[in-house]
Amino acid sequence: MGRSRYKIYEEHYPYFITSTFNDQLSLFADQEVAKIVLNSLRFLQEERLITLYAYVFMHDHLHCIMAGNNLSDKLRKFKSYTARTIIDYLTETNRTYYLKRLKNGVNKENSEYKVWQESFHPKQIRTTEMMIQKISYIHFNPVKAGFVNREIEWRYSSARNYEGLDGLVPIRVFDR
């Protein structure tokens, strides 16, 4: 039996991660939702639970490059915590449209809502060339989508960090 290509096997490598909101909802268009996820990433990075090399939030998904021991477990907890916090926020602010849509795809008996799609599609980064390519892909995503003209203009990205400017989350800049 072969290995699944979406599992973390060797933890000493960084991984390219993608997480998408259930029903492809544009939840990152809400600054408070983005803040919840940013604060969670910041916590993981500042507590040295992960090493974050790059990130971008698009309207309905995020991409990150990160490394860390027990990365699968940390990502599971990250998604669980952010999901609960996002649901609390949406409930408190009476965002019934989003709450109804997040009921789609619920498959666990003890869950009322499903915020994130299953998995985080980890792809192991084994070479410098692949790392550079994935960082470029992450930073160019908002330009390709037509949201901005230049990578550093997108607020929810580590592109600013790579230009020596302050970003929203501290990262470890990858030195070639």
Q: What is the structure's pLDDT at 104?
A: 78
Q: Is the pTM of this model over 0.95?
A: no
User: Rounded to 10 degrees, what is the CA torsion of 34, 128, 173, 38?
Assistant: 10
10 or 25, greater pLDDT: 25
Summarize pLDDT for 111-170 with one digit per residue, the tens.
Answer: 789 999 988 899 999 999 999 999 999 999 999 999 999 999 999 999 999 999 999 999
Going along the chain from its start, the domains and CATH numbers come out as: 15-162 (3.30.70.1290)
**Sequence-distant (≥ 6) Cβ neighbours of residue 90 within 8 angstroms:** 98, 99, 102
